[in-house]
Amino acid sequence: MRRSESFEKEVGIVARVKLDITRRAFLKGGLATGGLAVMAPTASIGAVNGMLNAQDPWYREGAIETTYNVCDVCPWHCGIVVQTVNGVVRKIDGNPKDPKSRGMLCARGQGGVSFMYDPDRLQSPMIRTGERGSGQFREVTWEEALDYTAAALLDIKDKYGEESLAVFAHTSGDHWFADHFAQAWGTPNAAKPSSSLCLSPRDEAATLTYGSAVGGHEPVDWDGIQAMTLIGSHIGEDARNTVMQDFANAHARGAKVIVVDPRFSSVAAKADYWLPIKPGTDTALMLAWMNVLIAEDLYDKAYVAEWAEGFDDLAAHVAEFTPDWAAGITDLPAAQIRETAQVMGANLPRAAVIPGRHTVWYGNDSQRMRATYLVNTLLGAYGREGGMYFNKSAYLETYPHPPYTVAGSSGGCSAEPGEETAELPLGPTGKARADGVRESFMRGPTAMQELIDPMISGDPYPIKGLIAYGVNMLNSIPNPQKTIEALKALEFVVAIDVLPQEHIAWADVVLPEATYLERYEDLLTVSHRTPYIALREPAVDPLYDTKPGWWISRELGTRVGLDAFYKWENIEEYIDKRLISVGSNIEGLREEGGIITQNGKPYLEDFDGSSPFGTGSGKIQLYSQDLAEAGHEAMPVYEPVDEPPTGFFRLLYGRSPVHTFAKTQNTPVLHDIDPENEIWVNADAAEQLGVADGDYVMLENQDGARSGPVKVKATERIRRDAVYMVHGFGQNAPGLTNANGKGASDTKLQTRYKLDPISGGAGMRVNFVRLDKEGV
C-alpha cells in the first residue's frame, strides 16, 4: 500500500480533501480514449495516450498548421513552434529564431501537448457547495462565477479596504493579476513565488552590489567563458534549455568547470573539480577564494581600480579567511580551495561564478550572493566577454491605461528590474505592504510567505481575500500546514488554474484557465543580450469551458469598476497596438517567425566610458554602505547554520529535468518518464540504517511532520550529512490522477524556514529529516 491511502493516513497534518463534483468527465473515469470523446477531439487523446497501430504518423493525417508560441511549462519561456493537424496539437519544437530555444526544446516543453490534453484539467467554472477544503463544488456559468467573485471582492474592499486583497500569481499570465489587476485595484499585497521563494536574494544582492538585478536570463557569456563555477546549480537536472546548450558547448570547448555541491549531480559528473561542500558553508568558501585571489595577486587590478569601490576594506576583511580556515568549516581540502581559486584567477576575466536561480537556502542568502558577486568583481567579470554581460530590456510601449492606483512590488522572474523607492507605496486607504518589509527584512519584492501570518492574525491589518492564479500554494510556500490555516481564515478565495491542484479544494470559486497553447497572451518582452519580443498565439481554441487569463482579468476588472484599465477591443487589437511602437503587428511578427530581436549593449565598451553600473556612485560596491546603514554586515561574513540533530539529515531538494516545480507531475507523458521522486541517501549511511536501495521509507522532520512513502536511492553521490529529493512530488490532490500521493513532498517537510533579513527570501534548507521504515 504505497500510494494514496497510506499517504492520507500518514500526512495527517495536511487535511485530506476530495474533489467531488457532479460532472463525470472531471472524474477519473474519463481517462481512456473513449471517455473524453465528447470533450475533446478523439484523435488527439488517442494520440497522446498512445493508440496502438495508428495507420499513419500524425504528420501525414492532414495539413500541418504552424503557430508561434512561448512555452509555459517552465518560467524560462522558450520560443516554440506548435504543429497542429486537423485541429489537434501534435508536436512542439523549439523555434529556431528564438534566442533561448534556438530550435531545441527540453523534455518538459515536449510534454506541453500532453499537459494540454491532460484529462484531469479543470473544465468548468465552479462555486463551492461544501465546507471550504471539502472539495465540493457545483458547476456554474462564467457569468455566475464572475458576478459572484466580483461581489465578494467589492465586499472585502468595502469592509476592509483594497489592501486587504492579496494576489498570488505564477506562470506567464501572472502579469494580468499580480501586476495589472492588483495595481489597478490598489493592493500592494501582490506576490509571486518567483521572488521570495526563489530569486529575491540573488537579485537584491545584485542590486546592492552592482546596481541591477541579474534578471530572468542570467547574463553569462557562455560563448567566451574559460572557467565557470557552479554553486548548487544543477545544469541538466535544472533543464533550462539555453543553459544546457551553452554549458555543453563551453564544456566541449574545454572551459574549466568547478562544481560546488554536497551532491554529485549530473553536472558535477562533468566537472574538472567537484567540491562536495558541507551544506550551508558556501560563504566561507567564497571568502577563502577572495583571500587567495588577493593574497596571490590573481585579481583584475585595473578593473577593480576603475569599476569598484571598497577594495581596501575587502582586502583587510578577507585577510584572515585563508583556505586553511575555510577547510575546517567547509569540509574541503585547503589545497582544493586554493587550486580552484587559482584556476579562476588564471582565466580572468573569462571566469565567473554563475549566479544560479533558486537561491533561498539558509536565510543568509543575500550575503552569500554578495560574496558571489564580489568574487566575480575580483575576476573582472561584469561587462566583459567571457564573463557576464549586461542585459537590456526590450523596447515596447504599453497599452495606454490610467495611472495605477498603487505602484507594483510583486517582482518575479519575468519582471523588468524596477527601482525600489525609499518610501513604500500606499494603497487607497493608506496602508503599505503587510509583509513586514523594512522591519523584518530590508527590501525587495513582496514576500509571499510573509503574507500568510497576516491572513491568520490580522496583523498589521487583515488580509481577507485572495486571488490565486497558477500558483501551487500548498506545494511551494514552506509550512503548508500554516497556509491551510490561512486559507481557512480568509473570507474569500478565488483560484484560477489549469489543473485541480491541491489548494483548489480550499477555494470558494474556481475559474478554469486555457493553457498557453489555446490562447493569445500579452507579448513577451525579454531582457537579454539581444532583447526581443515574442508572440504567443493559440494553436487551437480552448478545450472545455476554459478561458484565457487575460480574459478573466478583464472580466473581473470590468465588474469591479476598473474598466478604464481594460479599454482594448479584443486581445488582437491590444497586441497590435503595442506592436505599433516597434513598427509591426501580429501578422508582421508572425512573418518574422514569431520573434523580433533588438540590439543590446552587453559590454563595458558599449557604454562609451559612462558607467553601466546602477549604483549611486556608478561603481561596484565591494563594501556596501546601504547594508551598513540598514544595520547589516557591509561585507559578507560566514555565519554557521544549525546542524542536523543526531539521527537526522539535512533535507536538500532540487529538480528533475522532466518536471517543473509541482506543475507537471500529473502530465501523462512526463509522469510516464518520471513518476515519483526518490530520497538520495549516502550508501554507507543507508547501510547503517539497514535501508537498501529501492526500499520505501517514510520521512519525519524535526517537528514531527511526516511524508508519504518514498523510494530510497542509496548512492555514493551524496554526503553523509544530507539527503536529497526532487521537489514537487507527494501532492495530496485527488483530482490529479497520476500525481496524487506519488513520492514525498519536500514542502510538507519544510515546517520551518529562515527569513533572509535583507531580501525577504524564505530559506528552506533549514529542515532535517530522519528515515522511518515503519508505516510504509
DSSP annotation of 233: -
Residue 644: asked if its preceding bond is cis (omega within 30°), the reply is: no
Backbone angles phi, psi at 13, to 5 degrees: -65, -30
Distances (CA, A) of 648 to 359, 651, 702, 703, 768: 23, 9, 8, 12, 6
Minimum distance from CB of 710 to another protein (Å)? Answer: 18
Report the C-alpha gap between 52 and 187 in whole angstroms. Answer: 53
Q: Which stretch binds another protein (CB under 8 A): 100-108, 471-479, 700-708, 728-736?
A: 100-108
Measured from the CB atom, the residue of 478 and 594 that comes closer to another protein is 594
Minimum distance from CB of 667 to another protein (Å)? Answer: 10
Residue choice 57, 430, 583, 609 for contact with another protein (CB under 8 A): 57
Rule CB under 8 A: is residue 63 a binding residue for another protein? no
Measured from the CB atom, the residue of 268 and 495 that comes closer to another protein is 268
Residue 534, judged by CB atoms within 10 A of its CB (0-12, 13-18, 19+), counts as buried
Across 575-584, b (16+ Cβ under 10 Å) vs e yields bbbbbeebeb
Report the C-alpha gap between 669 and 662 in whole angstroms. Answer: 15
Measured from the CB atom, the residue of 50 and 618 that comes closer to another protein is 50
Minimum distance from CB of 78 to another protein (Å)? Answer: 10
Q: How many residues bind another protein (CB under 8 A)?
A: 67
Rule CB under 8 A: is residue 104 a binding residue for another protein? yes
Residue choice 81, 106, 199, 227 for contact with another protein (CB under 8 A): 106
Minimum distance from CB of 267 to another protein (Å)? Answer: 7
Rule CB under 8 A: is residue 270 a binding residue for another protein? yes
Residue 471: all three cell numbers together: 500558483
Report the C-alpha gap between 68 and 92 in whole angstroms. Answer: 10
Measured from the CB atom, the residue of 2 and 91 that comes closer to another protein is 91
Residue 361: all three cell numbers together: 537556502
Minimum distance from CB of 142 to another protein (Å)? Answer: 32
Q: CA 226, 366, 644, 679 torsion: positive or negative?
A: negative
Residue choice 13, 15, 248, 637 for contact with another protein (CB under 8 A): 248
Rule CB under 8 A: is residue 32 a binding residue for another protein? no
Measured from the CB atom, the residue of 53 and 646 that comes closer to another protein is 53
Measured from the CB atom, the residue of 251 and 547 that comes closer to another protein is 251
Minimum distance from CB of 47 to another protein (Å)? Answer: 5
Measured from the CB atom, the residue of 257 and 287 that comes closer to another protein is 257
Query: Is the distance from CB of 402 to CB of 611 less than 8 angstroms?
Result: no
Minimum distance from CB of 326 to another protein (Å)? Answer: 17
Residue with cell 463551492: 128
Minimum distance from CB of 251 to another protein (Å)? Answer: 7
Measured from the CB atom, the residue of 464 and 650 that comes closer to another protein is 650
What SS3 string covers 85-150? ECCEEEEEEECCCCCCCCCCCCHHHHCHHHHHCCCCCCCCCEEECCCCCCCEEEECCHHHHHHHHH
Residue choice 2, 18, 28, 91 for contact with another protein (CB under 8 A): 91
Minimum distance from CB of 271 to another protein (Å)? Answer: 10
Measured from the CB atom, the residue of 204 and 695 that comes closer to another protein is 695
- 3-state DSSP call for residue 250? helix
Report the C-alpha gap between 317 and 334 in whole angstroms. Answer: 19
Rule CB under 8 A: is residue 239 a binding residue for another protein? yes
Measured from the CB atom, the residue of 109 and 557 that comes closer to another protein is 109
- 3-state DSSP call for residue 701? strand
Measured from the CB atom, the residue of 73 and 651 that comes closer to another protein is 73
Minimum distance from CB of 107 to another protein (Å)? Answer: 4
Minimum distance from CB of 135 to another protein (Å)? Answer: 26
Minimum distance from CB of 661 to another protein (Å)? Answer: 17
Measured from the CB atom, the residue of 33 and 359 that comes closer to another protein is 33
Amino acid at 308: A
Q: Are strands 88-94 and 79-85 parallel, antiparallel or unpaired?
A: antiparallel
Rule CB under 8 A: is residue 235 a binding residue for another protein? yes
Query: Is the distance from CB of 465 to CB of 491 less than 8 angstroms?
Result: yes
Minimum distance from CB of 226 to another protein (Å)? Answer: 13
Measured from the CB atom, the residue of 101 and 483 that comes closer to another protein is 101
Measured from the CB atom, the residue of 458 and 675 that comes closer to another protein is 675
Q: Which residues contact 481 (CB under 8 A, 6 or more apart)?
A: 13, 14, 705, 748, 751
Residue choice 79, 186, 215, 236 for contact with another protein (CB under 8 A): 236
Count Cα neighbours of 145 within 13 Å in the Cβ-side half-sphere: 28
Measure CA of the first residue to CA of the last residue in the chain; give whole Å: 7
Q: Can you state the percent helix, strand and coil of the chain, rounding each to 5?
A: 35, 15, 50
- 3-state DSSP call for residue 393? coil
Rule CB under 8 A: is residue 252 a binding residue for another protein? yes
Rule CB under 8 A: is residue 244 a binding residue for another protein? yes
DSSP annotation of 275: E
Per CB under 8 A, which of residues 666..725 are in contact with another protein? 668-670, 672-674, 682-684, 715-720
Q: Where are the alpha helices (DSSP H) in 260-419?
A: 282-295, 301-307, 311-318, 323-330, 334-347, 365-378
Rule CB under 8 A: is residue 94 a binding residue for another protein? yes
DSSP-assigned states of every residue in 597-650: E-----SGGGGTTS----STTSSEESS-HHHHHTTS-SS----PPPPPPTT-EE
Rule CB under 8 A: is residue 233 a binding residue for another protein? no
Measured from the CB atom, the residue of 161 and 232 that comes closer to another protein is 232
Q: Which residues contact 533 (CB under 8 A, 6 or more apart)?
A: 394, 396, 523, 524, 525, 526, 579, 582, 589, 595, 596, 598
Minimum distance from CB of 673 to another protein (Å)? Answer: 6
Rule CB under 8 A: is residue 155 a binding residue for another protein? no
Q: Which stretch binds another protein (CB under 8 A): 43-51, 409-417, 462-470, 498-506?
A: 43-51
Minimum distance from CB of 233 to another protein (Å)? Answer: 13
Measured from the CB atom, the residue of 100 and 180 that comes closer to another protein is 100
Minimum distance from CB of 670 to another protein (Å)? Answer: 7
Residue 628: all three cell numbers together: 551598513
Minimum distance from CB of 231 to another protein (Å)? Answer: 16
Residue 615: all three cell numbers together: 549604483
Minimum distance from CB of 266 to another protein (Å)? Answer: 5
Residue with cell 522532466: 658
Rule CB under 8 A: is residue 107 a binding residue for another protein? yes
Across 489-508, b (16+ Cβ under 10 Å) vs e yields bbbbbbbbbbbbbbbbbbbb
Residue 386: all three cell numbers together: 567571457
Rule CB under 8 A: is residue 241 a binding residue for another protein? yes
Residue choice 193, 276, 349, 454 for contact with another protein (CB under 8 A): 276
Measured from the CB atom, the residue of 59 and 395 that comes closer to another protein is 59
Rule CB under 8 A: is residue 113 a binding residue for another protein? yes
Measured from the CB atom, the residue of 110 and 483 that comes closer to another protein is 110
Report the C-alpha gap between 195 and 358 in whole angstroms. Answer: 10
Rule CB under 8 A: is residue 743 a binding residue for another protein? no
Interface residues with another protein (CB under 8 A)? 47-54, 57-60, 90-94, 103-111, 113-114, 235-237, 239, 241-242, 244-245, 247-249, 251-252, 254, 264, 266-267, 269-270, 272, 274, 276, 657-658, 668-670, 672-674, 682-684, 715-720
